[in-house]
Amino acid sequence: MEERHRLILDRNLVLIAESMDLVELLPYLQQEGILREHHVESVRKLSPYEGRLELISIIKRRGPKAFGTLCNGLALSGQTHLVEKLCCFETTSVTVPTSMGCSAAAFENGVCVGERHSPVPPSSPIVLDKFYAAESLFCSDVPTTDGYLERMKVEICNFLPKDYNENEYYKNSSRPKGLALIINNHRFKGMPVRSGTDIDCMNLQRLFTQLGYVVKAKRDLSTKDMIESMLKFSQEKEHAKCDSAVVVVLSHGLHGEIYGSDGKLISVERLILFLDSYHCPALINKPKLFFVQACRGSHLDMGREINARDDIVRVSTLIRMVTLDENDAGDLRKKIPSQADILIAYSTIPGYVSWRNSARGSWFVQAICEVFSKYACKEEVLHLLTRVNDVVATKMSACGHVQVPEPCSRLRKKFYFLPGHYE
């Protein structure tokens, strides 16, 4: 390997150790003859962080073609943020599938040299490398969920809460309980793929089906597609016969906004508006539950030890990577605020990243499936989400980072899923 290539790897070692996704990269490097089987095994037996460092150590010893092949592998696996940092001065070319975001033959070392697709509108002040936040990292060390779908079974509700009455509890005994829409964005233009999101989607489909919902999942939606899907969902006639509704969004995100597969942003609040009392009268007075698995900023939470100072670090600094006016006072008819009866469960707090394991899914969705399947039969939703907070907050990534979700409630009553209970 040339000395200049060694220097490039050394200068970006922290970025590589924190963010390189090995799931698709290792097989490619082995296929191209850069790695042998014993190399792959030595990397895989280590923690994700240490494995990446070991891979770079091996690459440096694998000859003059190793660096160029690494760049090609990063491009083919959608790791554009690393391609731009490591390979921007090289001249070899690679063909990348159009699903990566550019035309098939318009890549040079994985960097699109023809038509480029910006992840945000040109007028946006957001810098690309700040977007690639830790939600897309393979830097977690959570318990494996292999086979979890087969083992997950929602416990049935055998009795109603002792103090149940319609004034304090939402009715949720229709068959089905309601409709559930899952927006699952996996591939994007100009951004890393969200490896592991399909695991989340399958887990959630199974969970909400067992909870009594009719689930529809949609994959890789642009912002326009998300708007159209939410509009269609809000107009479903079945809502009138159901007692509740669920929407799940799995995507990249930033500061209260969600990325579509086209790399454009749409605010979470805009999606929520489709189910408010003005736009979806069939769900007036009925609980609407939103679950959002996405980053909400670029901060990493390092947690806090007893007697230790706060240590919160920006992603951009650490690894340089890649959101009612009172005007009816004269009307004396009884009204409900248009934004009432809504619950939004965010995977993380404002300004912070959300962790997802490329092979096992996100911490947040794993916790929801674990907690809801066991306790939804006897606890109301805010209690469930408090349990989810605890499960997620006690996890730690292999890089030493932590996370805590944030439920935001506009509910007026207590809400129970009541799995298995129908009238």
How is 119-159 classified by DSSP, letter by letter?
Answer: SS-TT----HHHHS-GGG-----PPP-TTHHHH--PPPP-S
Q: Which residues of 111-134 are buried (b: 16+ CB within 10 A; e: fewer)?
A: bbeeeeeebbeeeeebebbbbbbb
Residue 300 CA to residue 16 CA, distance in Å, equals 16
CATH fold for domain 3-88: Death Domain, Fas (1.10.533)
pLDDT bucket at 357, cuts 50 / 70 / 90: low
Q: What is the mean pLDDT of residues 4-17?
A: 88
The predicted-structure confidence for 233-286, as pLDDT tens digits, reads as follows: 999 999 999 999 999 999 988 878 899 999 888 999 999 999 999 999 999 999
The predicted pLDDT at position 108 comes to: 38
Residue 308 CA to residue 110 CA, distance in Å, equals 43
User: Lowest mean pLDDT: which of 23-27, 124-128, 381-385?
Assistant: 124-128
Separation of CA 368 from chain center: 13
3-state secondary structure of 387: helix
Q: What is the mean pLDDT of residues 163-180?
A: 90
The predicted pLDDT at position 260 comes to: 94
Partners of residue 314 on adjacent β-strands: 299
The answer to whether the Cα torsion of 19, 23, 28, 30 is positive or negative is positive
Bridge-based pairing of strands 356-357 and 253-254 is unpaired
Query: Domain residues of the chain, as ranges?
Result: 3-88, 145-300+337-410
Flag whether pLDDT at 143 surpasses 50.
no
Residue 96 CA to residue 93 CA, distance in Å, equals 10
Flag whether pLDDT at 17 surpasses 80.
yes
pLDDT bucket at 304, cuts 50 / 70 / 90: low
Residue 254 CA to residue 303 CA, distance in Å, equals 21
Structure tokens at 150: 């087969």
Residue 147 CA to residue 107 CA, distance in Å, equals 38
Q: Which residues of 385-422 are buried (b: 16+ CB within 10 A; e: fewer)?
A: bebbbebbbebbbbbebbbbbbbeeebeebbbbbbebe
The predicted pLDDT at position 161 comes to: 74
Structure tokens at 142: 């959570």
pLDDT > 90: percent of the chain: 40
pLDDT bucket at 31, cuts 50 / 70 / 90: confident
Q: Note whether 276 and 290 are within 8 A (CB).
A: no
| Edge-first strand listing for the sheet containing 178-184 | 213-219, 178-184, 244-250, 288-293, 342-346, 406-409
Q: Note whether 248 and 204 are within 8 A (CB).
A: yes
Q: Note whether 80 and 110 are within 8 A (CB).
A: yes
Instruction: Give the helix ranges, DSSP H, for 32-137.
Output: 37-44, 48-59, 66-76, 80-86, 128-131
pLDDT > 70: percent of the chain: 71
The predicted-structure confidence for 322-354, as pLDDT tens digits, reads as follows: 222 333 333 333 455 778 899 999 988 776 666
CATH fold for domain 145-300+337-410: Rossmann fold (3.40.50)
The predicted pLDDT at position 284 comes to: 96
Q: What is the CA radius of gyration of the chain?
A: 23
The predicted pLDDT at position 392 comes to: 87
Catalytic residues: 252, 295
The predicted-structure confidence for 48-103, as pLDDT tens digits, reads as follows: 888 889 999 999 999 999 999 999 888 887 787 888 888 765 444 433 333 333 33
Flag whether pLDDT at 181 surpasses 90.
yes
Partners of residue 406 on adjacent β-strands: 346
How far are the Cα atoms of 80, 391, 412 from residue 77, in angstroms, in the given order? Answer: 8, 31, 46
Q: What is the mean pLDDT of residues 215-224?
A: 96
The torsion of the CA quartet 26, 29, 30, 31, rounded to 10 degrees, works out to 120
Q: Where are the beta strands (DSSP E) in 265-348?
A: 265-267, 288-293, 299-301, 312-314, 342-346
The predicted pLDDT at position 322 comes to: 28
